[in-house]
Amino acid sequence: MEILLLLKIALLCFSLLVALCKAAKDQSNKSKEPVPRKPSGKVSHSYRTDPKNRALQADLLILLKGDVPAAKRLLLQQRRKKPGQSDNWYLEKVIYDLERDRR
C-alpha cells in the first residue's frame, strides 16, 4: 500500500518536472533574439524596415541636410572600421560622431 502511494507521488513529481521543463523551454525559445550577423557589405533587411532604424535614418539625414551619399559613406566607413555591430549601432555611432564634432 505504501509502495503504491510512493509510486503515485513519484509519478506525479516526474510529470510536474516534465511539464515545468517544457514550459521553461517554450518560454526561452520565445525570448531568444536572433544573433546578429556580421555585415557582408550588403545592408540587412531590418536596416530598411525596423522602425527604430527609420527614425535614426531620418535623424542622420537631418544632420546631413539630406545628403544621402554622405550618410551612406559614413555608415560604410563605420561598418569597415567596426565590423559585426548591429544596424542601430552604426546609425547611433555616426549620429553621435557628427553631433560630437559639431560642438
Q: What residue type is assigned to position 98 of the chain? A: L
- In the numeric block, the cell 550588403 is attached to 42
Reply yes or no on whether the pLDDT at 41 is more than 70: no
Would you list the domain boundaries of the chain? 45-101
Q: What is the DSSP letter of 35?
A: P
**Are 46 and 53 within 8 A, CB to CB?**
yes
Whole-model pTM? Answer: 0.54
Residues 6 or more apart from 64 whose CB is under 8 A from it? 70, 71, 98
Residue pLDDT, tens place only, 10-22: 666 566 666 666 7
Higher-confidence position of 95 and 28:
95
Range 53-59, long-range pairs (CB < 8 A, 24+ positions): 53/87, 53/88, 53/91, 56/88, 56/91, 56/92, 56/95, 57/91, 59/95
**Are 44 and 37 within 8 A, CB to CB?**
yes
Residue pLDDT, tens place only, 42-92: 555 555 567 778 888 999 999 999 999 999 999 999 999 999 998 889 999
